[in-house]
Chain A
Amino acid sequence: NAGVTQTPKFRVLKTGQSMTLLCAQDMNHEYMYWYRQDPGMGLRLIHYSVGEGTTAKGEVPDGYNVSRLKKQNFLLGLESAAPSQTSVYFCASSYIQQALYNEQFFGPGTRLTVL
Chain B
Amino acid sequence: GQQVMQIPQYQHVQEGEDFTTYCNSSTTLSNIQWYKQRPGGHPVFLIQLVKSGEVKKQKRLTFQFGEAKKNSSLHITATQTTDVGTYFCARAGSARQLTFGSGTQLTVLP
Contact = CB atoms under 8 A, between A and B. Distances in A.
Interface of A: 31, 33, 35, 40-45, 48, 50, 56, 58-59, 90, 92, 94, 100-109
A102 B1 contact: no
Interface in B64-110: 88, 92, 95-103
A56 B100 contact: no
B42 A107 contact: yes
A41 B100 CA distance: 9
A42 B103 contact: yes
B102 A90 contact: no
Most buried by B among A35, A44, A100, A103: A103
B50 interface: yes
Contacts of B48: 101-103
A48 B102 contact: no
Given A33-B97, A101-B96, A41 B43 contact: no
B95 A31 contact: yes
A64 to B, nearest CB: 15
Given A42-B88, A43-B88, A106 B42 contact: yes
CB-CB nearest 4 A-B residue pairs: A101-B92, A103-B45, A42-B100, A106-B42
B31 interface: yes
